[in-house]
Structure 1
Amino acid sequence: MNPIPDWLRNYRASWLAGDAVAGLIVTVMLIPQSLAYALLAGLPAEVGLYASLLPIVAYALLGSSMTLAVGPVAVASLMTASALQPLAAAGSVQYVQLAVLLSLLSGVMLLAFGLLRLGFLAHFLSHPVISGFITGSAVLIAVGQLKHLLGVQVQGENVFQTLSSLAHALPQTKPAVLALGGASVLFLWFARKYLAKLLVRTGLSAKAADMAAKLAPMLVVIVSTAVVSLWGLDRSHGVPVVGNVPQGLPALGLPAWDWGSVQALWLPALLISLVGFVESVSVAQSLALKRQQRIEPNRELLGLGAANLASAVSGGFPVTGGFARSVVNFAAGANTPLAGVISAALMALVVAFFTGWFHALPQAVLAATIIVAVTGLIDWGTLREAWHYDKADALSLIATALGVMALGVEAGILLGVALSLGTLVWRSSHPHMAVVGRVPGTEHFRNVDRHQVVTEPGLVAVRVDESLYFANASVLQDRIEALVHANPAARHVLLVCSAVNQIDTTALGVLGDLERSLRERGIRFLLAEVKGPVMDRLQDTDFGRRMQGQVFLSTHEAFADVAQRQQVG
C-alpha cells in the first residue's frame, strides 16, 4: 500500500486556490466550535483546540472523502461528557486524561474495524434510529447549555430534571450574562435564517453571502470578547469567561491508563465510534454524490481511526466528521483533503501564538453557538416522513429521542437499536402470505384479494414473502392448515417460495411435519420457484428426498401438473 494518498500523488496546481480558501474559511468556523465543544464535553478550552490539529492531518492521509471536515462535533462531545461525568470531576486532570483515553480506545476500535473490513457496520443503525438519537442529543445539549446562557448553577441527569432545576434557578439569573447570551442567540438565529438573503440584496453573490452567514459565530466571538474585555464585565458583573488558555502546541504522547478505566470506557468508546462513523459516512456520501465521487466505508474507518489516535496522542478528545463544517468546506471550493491540512496548519498558528485572545470570551456566547448549531440537528422532516410511511420506524425514532432525553445517550441509542431490531424480528415473524391465482391468459400469478385471477379447484396455492426460520415457521404452518380447513375439497397445497432466501433447521422440521400431516390426509404438498441455494441444502435432507417430483421450477408448471392430474383423476 502506497503511504502517499492518491489525491496527493495526483494533485493539480489548479486545485490549490480552492483548497486554500476553504481551509481558511473552515478555520474561522472551527475556532469557536472547537472551544464550544470542549465546553460541552466538560473539558478545558485548549483540549478542543488540540483536537483540531493532528486529527485533520491523519484523516487526510487515510480517509476517502475529499471534503469531509473532521474535528470536534456536538454529538461526540455530549457522548464524551456522558461517559466521563460518572468517573471524574469535569475539567479535572483525571477527567482530561480519561477523555484522551476515550479517544485512544475509539481510534483503536475504528482502525480494527477498518482492517477487518467491517464498513458494512454503517448499515446496522437505521436512519430513524440515528435521526432519533441526534434529535434527542440536540435537545439534551441545548437544554444543558441554558445554564451558561443564564449564568446559573443547575443539577440534572436528564432533560426533564435539568428543566426543573432551571425553573428553580431563574431568580439567580445574571442580567449581563443573559444579555450577552440572549443577544448572541438572536443574532446567530437571524444570521442562519436571513443574513445570506440580506447580503444578496446588497449585491453580494449567493455563494459569498452564504459563506459570510456561516462565519457569524466568529463575529459574535470577536465582538463579545471585545465587549467583556473593554468593560471588564467578568469582574464587574460576574460574567463567566473562558479564562487562561495555555499557549503553545500540545506535547505528544500516549495517555496514562489502567484496566479499570478501559473497562469503564470501552462501551462508550464503541458507541462513539459507531455513531461517529455512521454520521461521517452519511455526510461524506451526500457530498461525494454531488461530484460523482465515491466513498469507501472501510477507508473511512481507517481515516477516522487514525484521526482519533492522533487526537489522543496530541491531548484531544474523540472526533468525527462534522456536518456543518463539511458543507462549508464543500461550498467554499475544497477539492482535496489539503483544505483540511491547511486548516490544521492555521489552527496550529492560533494555538501557538494567539490563545491569549480567548481569555475574555464569555461562556454564554459559546453556549449560544452550541444551542443554535444543535437546534438545526432536530430532524422534524424524517419524523414526518416516517410517520406517514411507516409508523413503526417513526415510533423507533421517537423512542430513541425520548430515551436519550430521559435516560442518557448510551441508554437512548441502545434502546433505539433494540426497538429497531425488535421491529425487524416482529415483521419477519409475521410474514406477508397471499393465496395466489393465475392472471387470465398469462403465466403470471397474483394475490386473489388484489387481482382478478383464476384459481385451480382442489389446489391451495400460497406465496410466502419472507425467508423461513424459527420465528415464523409455525405461523406459516397455521396459515396453511387454516386454508385447508376452510377448503375441504383441497387435494393439493402449493407453497410458492420465490421470496424465500433461506430455510433454517426449525423451519425445515416444520415443513417436514406439514408435508407428513398433509400426506396422511391424502393431500399432496408441492413447492415452486425454490431458489438454487435453498434447493441445494434441501436435497440432502429427508424432507428434500420425500419432495422429489413435487418441486416445480415455476408456479405455472405446478398449476399445470395439478390440472393434468385432476383431469386424469
Structure 2
Amino acid sequence: MPPRLRSYLPILDWGARYDHAALSNDLIAAVIVTIMLIPQSLAYALLAGLPPEAGLYASIAPIVLYAIFGTSRALAVGPVAVVSLLTASAIGQVAEQGTAGYAVAALTLAFLSGGFLVLLGVLRLGFLANFLSHPVIAGFITASGILIATSQLRHILGVDGSGHTLPEMLHGLWSHLGQINVITGLIGLAATAFLYWARKGLKPALRRAGLGARAADVATKAGPVAAVVLTTLAVWVLDLDALGVRIVGAVPQSLPPLTLPGLTPDLLAQLLLPAILISVIGFVESVSVAQTLAAKKRQRIDPDQELIGLGAANLGAAFTGGFPVTGGFSRSVVNFDAGAETPAAGAFTAAGLAIAAVALTPLVYYLPNATLAATIIVAVLSLVDVTILQKTWAYSRADFTAVAATMALTLLAGVEVGVGAGVGLSILLHLFKTSRPHVAEVGRVPGTEHFRNIHRHEVITQDDLVTLRVDESLYFANARFLEDLLQARVSDGCDVRNVVLMFSAVNAVDYSALESLEAINSRLSDMGVGLHLSEVKGPVMDRLRATHFLDHLNGKVFLSQFHAWQALARPETDPALATQ
C-alpha cells in the first residue's frame, strides 16, 4: 500500500492491528460517551439557535468521518460550546433564527469551515495555529464561557432575551424580569445545582455507598441523563408545559437527512470570514486536547492530518443537517478515561446516537429547555479561568494586556470581534517581543571558554573589544533595533577597535536584516572598527555566503567566541592568554 495513502487514511494503520481487546474497550467507551452526548448534543444545538435534532445530526456523520481521517485515538468530535456560540453569532447576522435560511446558513458555515480545514491540511499548514498565543486563547475561551453561561440564563428563568454581547444580554434579561416563570426557574436552578454536584460529589457518594469504581464512574457520566429524565417526567406528569414551562417539543424521528449548503455568492461572502475564525479556534482547541491525551499514552498525532480529519467532519455535518463541529474537551476526556483504544470508539458512539435519533427522540418531547440550559452552563464552567489574568500579570505585562484586551472585546463587542482581536493580538505580541530582541554584552568567565552577560556575572572584558550576543533571529521587525543599539554602543565615547556579534542564538537572517548588517559593517569600517561574527550556524552561514556580505566584511568569522577572544583580546587584559 502506498505510504502516502496510509498517511491520509490513518484508519488503514490502526485498523490493520485492531483486535478483540480493542473492540471491547472501544464499545465500553462508546456506551459511556453516547449517554453523555445525547443531552449535550441537544443542548449545543439550542445554543447555536438550531432545532435540537441538529445536535444529534452533527454528532453522527462527523464522528465517523473523523474516525477515518483523524489521527487521535481518543478525540471525540461533535458540537462544542464555543463553536456553537460562534455559529449562532455568525449566522444570526445573515438570517433570522427559526427560519429555513438560518438552517441553510449553518450548513454553509460547516461547509466553508470544512473546506478551509481540508485545504490547510493538504497544504501542510497546521503550523499556522502556532501563531495564536495560548494566553490569548485562554482569555477568549474564558470570555466565551461567560457569554455562553449568560446567554442561557433566559432559558433558566423562562424569559425572552437576545443579544451577542454581555451588555446586550444583561439588558435583555433586565428588561424581561417581569416575565420570569417561577416553575421554569425552579427546574433550571435545581437542574444546575444537581449537575454541578454530580460533577464533584456524585462519584464519591456512590463509592461510599459501596458501588464499584467503574459503575460509579459510568453513573457520574450519566448525571446529565438523570437530570433530563427527572425533569422530563416532572413536566409530563404534572403537565407543567401548560403553566408556561418551555419544552423541546416534537423532534423528528429519523437518521440525519441529506442536505445541501447554500452556495450563493452573497451567502458565501458573508460567512467566509466567520468560517475561517471558527476553523482556527476549533482546530486550536481540538489539537490541544488531542496532543494532551496522546502524550499520556506516548502516542503522537499529526496536526496536518488533524486538519483533514476535522475538515472531513465539518463537510460531513454540512451534508447531513448539522453545523460546525470540532474536538470537545469534556467528551474527549471522558472517552479517554473510559478506555477508548482507537477512533473506532467514535464510530460506535455515532451508531449509538443514530439509534437515539431514530428511537429515543419522542421521549424528549417534554424535556424543558431549562434543563438543556443547565447542561450548557455547568459544562462551560470548566472553560472559565479568570486566574489567567493574575498569572499573566505576574509573569508578563505584555501577555496580560493581550489577554485582558481579548476578554474585554469578546464580552463587550461579541465573539467575532473577540476572536479576530485574539488572532491579531497574538501576531502583534509576537512582533512586539521579537522587535526588541534581548542583546547581551558578554565577557569571558575566568578560567573557562564560556562567555556570559557582563551585568550578571563576574567576567573579563576589555575597553576596545565589545562582544554582543544576539538572542533572536534577525528579520525585518528587529533589524533596525540591532543597528541602532550597536551604533549607540560604539559611539559612546569608548575606544572600541573591534566588535564581535555572537550569533549562537540566531537561526535566520532575512534580507532586511542582511541590509542592516551591511550598514553596520560600512559604518564601523568608516570608524576604523572591525566587525566580526562568531558561532554562526550552518544555515545562516549558507545564506551569507550566497551574498557579497562576507567579501566586504571588515573582520573575520570565528568558529567560536573563544577563538575570537584569543585573536582579538590583549594578553595584558586576560593574562591567561599569554600561557595559551
What code does the residue aligned with 1:198 have? A
Indicate conservation of the 8 Å contact 2:531/2:555, yes or no. no
1:58 to 55, 60, 65: 65
Q: Distance in 2 between matches of 1:158 and 1:427?
A: 31
Q: Distance in 1 between matches of 2:280 and 2:451?
A: 44
What code does the residue aligned with 1:276 have? G
Q: Distance in 2 between matches of 1:116 and 1:507?
A: 29
What code does the residue aligned with 1:118 have? L
Residue by residue over 1:164-190, the C-alpha shift from the partner in whole angstroms, topping out at 9 and shown as x without a partner, is 331232222110110100111111111
Indicate conservation of the 8 Å contact 1:393/1:420, yes or no. no
After alignment, is 391-400 or 214-223 more displaced? 391-400
The residue number in structure 2 matching 1:429 is 435
Please state if 1:20 is matched with 2:27.
yes
The offset of 1:227, in angstroms, is 0.5
The offset of 1:525, in angstroms, is 2.1
Specify the SS of the correspondent of 2:281: helix
The residue number in structure 1 matching 2:145 is 138
The residue number in structure 1 matching 2:329 is 323
What code does the residue aligned with 1:439 have? V
Q: Distance in 1 between matches of 2:239 and 2:395?
A: 56
The offset of 1:83, in angstroms, is 0.6
1:368 to 374, 390, 401: 374
Indicate conservation of the 8 Å contact 1:469/1:504, yes or no. yes
Residue by residue over 1:186-233, the C-alpha shift from the partner in whole angstroms, topping out at 9 and shown as x without a partner, is 111111121122122112234432332222111000110110011111
What code does the residue aligned with 2:87 have? T
Q: Following superposition of structure 1 onto structure 2, how do residues 326-337 of structure 1 map, counting pairs within 5 Å?
A: 326-337=332-343
After alignment, is 449-458 or 336-345 more displaced? 336-345
* CA spacing shift, 1:566–1:542, aligned 2, 3 Å: farther
Q: Following superposition of structure 1 onto structure 2, how do residues 386-425 of structure 1 map, counting pairs within 5 Å?
A: 386-425=392-431
After alignment, is 225-234 or 460-469 more displaced? 460-469
The residue number in structure 1 matching 2:320 is 314
1:263 to 253, 262, 269: 269
Please state if 1:211 is matched with 2:191.
no
Residue by residue over 1:47-100, the C-alpha shift from the partner in whole angstroms, topping out at 9 and shown as x without a partner, is 111112111111111111111111111111111101100111112111001111
Specify the SS of the correspondent of 1:104: helix
The offset of 1:462, in angstroms, is 1.6
Specify the SS of the correspondent of 1:5: helix
* CA spacing shift, 1:215–1:172, aligned 2, 3 Å: same
Please state if 1:122 is matched with 2:148.
no
Q: Distance in 2 between matches of 1:509 and 1:406?
A: 44
The residue number in structure 2 matching 1:111 is 118
* CA spacing shift, 1:536–1:257, aligned 2, 3 Å: closer
Q: Distance in 1 between matches of 2:23 and 2:556?
A: 69
1:340 to 330, 335, 346: 346
Please state if 1:472 is matched with 2:478.
yes
Q: Distance in 2 between matches of 1:193 and 1:158?
A: 31
Please state if 1:532 is matched with 2:538.
yes
2:503 to 479, 497, 502: 497
Cα RMSD of the aligned pairs, angstroms, is: 1.9
What code does the residue aligned with 1:560 have? Q
Give the TM-score normalised by the residue count of structure 2.
Answer: 0.93
* CA spacing shift, 1:548–1:117, aligned 2, 3 Å: same
The residue number in structure 2 matching 1:153 is 160
Q: Distance in 2 between matches of 1:54 and 1:479?
A: 58
Indicate conservation of the 8 Å contact 1:72/1:322, yes or no. yes
Q: Distance in 2 between matches of 1:521 and 1:299?
A: 55
After alignment, is 74-83 or 304-313 more displaced? 304-313
Specify the SS of the correspondent of 2:56: helix
Indicate conservation of the 8 Å contact 2:139/2:388, yes or no. no
Structure 1 gaps of 5+ residues are: none
Q: Percent identity?
A: 51
The residue number in structure 2 matching 1:274 is 280
Specify the SS of the correspondent of 1:446: strand
Specify the SS of the correspondent of 1:365: helix
The residue number in structure 1 matching 2:49 is 42
* CA spacing shift, 1:429–1:255, aligned 2, 3 Å: closer
* CA spacing shift, 1:488–1:257, aligned 2, 3 Å: closer
The residue number in structure 2 matching 1:88 is 95
Please state if 1:283 is matched with 2:289.
yes
Q: Distance in 2 between matches of 1:518 and 1:10?
A: 66
* CA spacing shift, 1:216–1:560, aligned 2, 3 Å: same
Q: Distance in 2 between matches of 1:487 and 1:535?
A: 32
The residue number in structure 1 matching 2:553 is 547
Specify the SS of the correspondent of 1:161: helix
Q: Following superposition of structure 1 onto structure 2, how do residues 163-202 of structure 1 map, counting pairs within 5 Å?
A: 163-202=170-209
The offset of 1:564, in angstroms, is 5.6
Question: How many pairs align?
Answer: 566
The residue number in structure 2 matching 1:354 is 360
The offset of 1:251, in angstroms, is 2.4
Specify the SS of the correspondent of 1:527: strand
Give the TM-score normalised by the residue count of structure 1.
Answer: 0.95
Q: Distance in 1 between matches of 2:421 and 2:138?
A: 13
Indicate conservation of the 8 Å contact 2:525/2:554, yes or no. no
Indicate conservation of the 8 Å contact 1:54/1:344, yes or no. yes
Specify the SS of the correspondent of 1:177: helix
What code does the residue aligned with 1:443 have? E
The residue number in structure 2 matching 1:522 is 528
2:75 to 62, 68, 78: 68
Specify the SS of the correspondent of 2:531: strand
What code does the residue aligned with 1:103 have? A
Q: Distance in 2 between matches of 1:471 and 1:14?
A: 55
After alignment, is 482-491 or 71-80 more displaced? 482-491
Indicate conservation of the 8 Å contact 1:211/1:328, yes or no. no
After alignment, is 489-498 or 87-96 more displaced? 489-498
After alignment, is 263-272 or 549-558 more displaced? 549-558
